[in-house]
């Protein structure tokens, strides 16, 4: 087993500064419904996560992020929360969750969980009370507005999942606002009572031993109180997947007052030393919000966006542009990065031809581990899983159903993790899985990847090598200029250590002059080299390599 290292004890080379455990930590995302089913009902659960923790710890990651397991009617598969402090019976009990925290900590893993603060389920007790009248104690806990004189919605805001962001409610004779599904009414975070209730929910989980949070859709959590119309984006209808794409989202989200709530939330977190909190920040130009949410010591630790998650292709210019948005100045927050997750089609399918997926799975993993920040590995990336094929008749994701067949949808990234190739349903469940197991995933099962040439073993090796090199964990990052957009040269430096990461993202060998880059000994290569890299005139196709600088 590659033992997970507690980075809290790490000392910056040449400095007496003691760094927090999360600075450079690798986080493994668990999507509970599809990780491992312990009771044969076809849905992954908390006991399944407990059984699979050794697999995760053996990779050498530093922590886990568990997607929602809270009480929910599952309109959006857990992101419609009906009780922030409850476990949905389909996943288990609070005792099952406590057992995960205890075992994870024993294995050296930190535990991060989702918190969804922009909205709740329409089944939440708060919303049930809020919609009951205009005078009840929680009447202003959600965003309510009167119709226009003609009965139409208050403004032109469109929801992420398609259609207007307003739903009529006859009980109050008003519309309520929802950025996502109509079953996910938006909370009114301008209310101090709402803020206090959400902070109390976070405290509940911290008291149970969690080490921090991933804050879902945080920049959707406040709206323009004047309810002004969003301006048009200029995207024509025939090019848009949904009406949402045809607006600039100036007023339905991304309000400056969000920072005030973050600072209040952080004050509570500071009562629990060693916590780590990362924000999800969507949108076409999220960097300003990401920096605002993480600036200084009184806000969040980190943030990530969808630069790579929705990218249809990967090249050097895209990587450089995204990474250089973080200019590494004092007081700037710390970025996190993800190439795949439960909300986006798997990167290996978006970026690589099927015949090259084995090579490219290793290369992409190395690139993710090279970027300055916190890499987030989504379950199945360590196996090189491609996007699963899910027939229309088996789709569960409301976004995939609404937009079919325009997009790949999210279900193909949420299918069960394959554990044992020769068992029914690849060992995920003895019952019929909630989403089908893709036959292409079965040969990539965990038990089939125990050999040294597997993507799984390479993942553990790469994580082990990364831990031994402080420059990769928390060093500075710069890019060398090269002629080809398919070649990427990254330098990571800390103290007297400099590592150079070379990536040929193409299917062709590229001209290469190692003496000009000043490279020395090879630390790790994504696949075996036929010739000594230092005496080679080309960088081989589909190769990633870490080398020491001379």
DSSP string, 186-210: BB-TTSHHHHHHHHHHHHHHHHTT-
Catalytic-labelled residue, pool 37, 122, 167, 216: 216
> What's the rounded Cα separation, in Å, for the pair 258 and 260?
5
Number of helical (H) and strand (E) elements in the chain, helices listed first: 14, 20
Contacts of 122-129 with C-beta under 8 Å, sequence gap 24+, read 122/80, 122/182, 122/183, 122/184, 122/185, 123/72, 123/73, 123/80, 123/82, 123/183, 124/81, 124/82, 124/83, 125/82, 125/83, 126/197, 127/185
How far is the C-alpha of 367 from the C-alpha of 546, rounded, in Å?
Answer: 10
Active-site entry in 271, 355, 496, 515: 271
Q: Is position 216 annotated as part of the catalytic site? A: yes
- Report angle CA 332, 310, 292 to the nearest 5 degrees: 20
- Concerning whether 186 is annotated as a catalytic residue, the answer is no
Judge contact between 252 and 230, C-beta under 8 A.
yes
Bridge partners (DSSP) listed for residue 30: 66
Secondary structure of 426-465 in the HEC alphabet? HHCCCCCCCCCCCCCCHHHCHHHCCCCCCHHHHHHHHHHH
- Structure tokens, 380: 């199945």
Helix (H) / strand (E) containing 6: none
Distance between CA atoms of 390 and 397, rounded to whole angstroms? Answer: 11
Catalytic residue annotation: 216, 271
């Amino acid at each position: 087993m590659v033992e997970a290292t507690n980075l809290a004890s790490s000392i910056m080379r040449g400095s007496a500064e003691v760094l927090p455990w999360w600075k450079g930590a690798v986080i493994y995302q668990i999507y509970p419904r599809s990780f491992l089913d312990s009771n044969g009902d076809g849905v992954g659960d908390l006991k399944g996560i407990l059984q699979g923790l050794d697999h995760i710890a053996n990779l050498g990651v530093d922590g886990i992020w568990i997607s929602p397991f809270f009480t929910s009617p599952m309109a959006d598969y857990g992101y419609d929360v009906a009780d922030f402090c409850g476990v949905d019976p389909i996943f288990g009990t609070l005792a099952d969750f406590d057992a995960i925290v205890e075992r994870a900590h024993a294995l050296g893993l930190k535990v991060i969980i989702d918190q969804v603060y922009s909205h709740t389920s329409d089944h939440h007790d708060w919303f049930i009370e809020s919609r009951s009248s205009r005078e009840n104690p929680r009447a202003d806990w959600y965003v309510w507005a009167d119709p226009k004189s003609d009965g139409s919605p208050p403004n032109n805001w469109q929801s992420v999942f398609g259609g207007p962001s307003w739903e009529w409610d006859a009980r109050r004779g008003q519309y309520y606002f929802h950025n996502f599904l109509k079953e996910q009414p938006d909370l009114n975070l301008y209310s101090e009572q709402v803020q206090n209730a959400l902070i109390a929910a976070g405290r509940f989980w911290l008291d149970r031993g969690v080490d921090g949070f991933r804050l879902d859709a945080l920049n959707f959590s406040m709206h323009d109180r004047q309810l002004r119309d969003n301006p048009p984006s200029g995207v024509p209808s025939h090019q848009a997947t949904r009406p949402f794409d045809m607006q600039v989202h100036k007023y339905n989200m991304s309000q400056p007052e969000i920072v005030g709530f973050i600072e209040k939330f952080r004050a509570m977190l500071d009562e629990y030393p060693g916590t780590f909190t990362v924000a999800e920040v969507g949108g076409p130009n999220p960097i300003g919000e990401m920096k605002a949410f993480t600036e200084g010591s009184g806000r969040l630790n980190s943030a990530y966006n969808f630069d790579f998650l929705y990218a249809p292709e990967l090249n050097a210019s895209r990587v450089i542009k995204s990474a250089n948005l973080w200019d590494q100045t004092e007081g700037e927050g710390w970025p996190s990065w993800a190439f795949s997750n439960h909300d986006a089609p798997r990167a290996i399918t978006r970026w690589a031809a099927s015949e090259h997926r084995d090579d490219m799975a290793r290369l992409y993993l190395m690139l993710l581990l090279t970027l300055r920040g916190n890499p987030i590995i989504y379950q199945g990336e360590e196996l090189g899983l491609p996007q699963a094929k899910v027939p229309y008749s088996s789709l569960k994701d409301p976004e995939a159903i609404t937009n079919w067949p325009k997009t790949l949808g999210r279900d193909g990234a949420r299918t069960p993790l394959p554990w044992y190739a020769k068992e029914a349903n690849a060992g995920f469940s003895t019952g019929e899985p909630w989403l089908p197991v893709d036959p292409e995933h079965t040969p990539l099962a965990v038990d089939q990847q125990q050999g040294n040439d597997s993507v799984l073993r390479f993942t553990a090796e790469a994580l082990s090598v990364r831990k031994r090199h402080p420059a990769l964990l928390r060093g500075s990052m710069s890019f060398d200029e090269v002629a080809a957009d398919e070649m990427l040269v990254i330098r990571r430096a800390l103290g007297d250590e400099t590592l150079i990461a070379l990536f040929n993202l193409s299917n062709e060998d590229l001209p290469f002059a190692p003496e000009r880059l000043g490279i020395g000994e090879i630390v790790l290569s994504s696949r075996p080299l036929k010739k000594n890299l230092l005496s080679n005139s080309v960088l081989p196709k589909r190769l990633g390599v870490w080398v020491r600088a001379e």
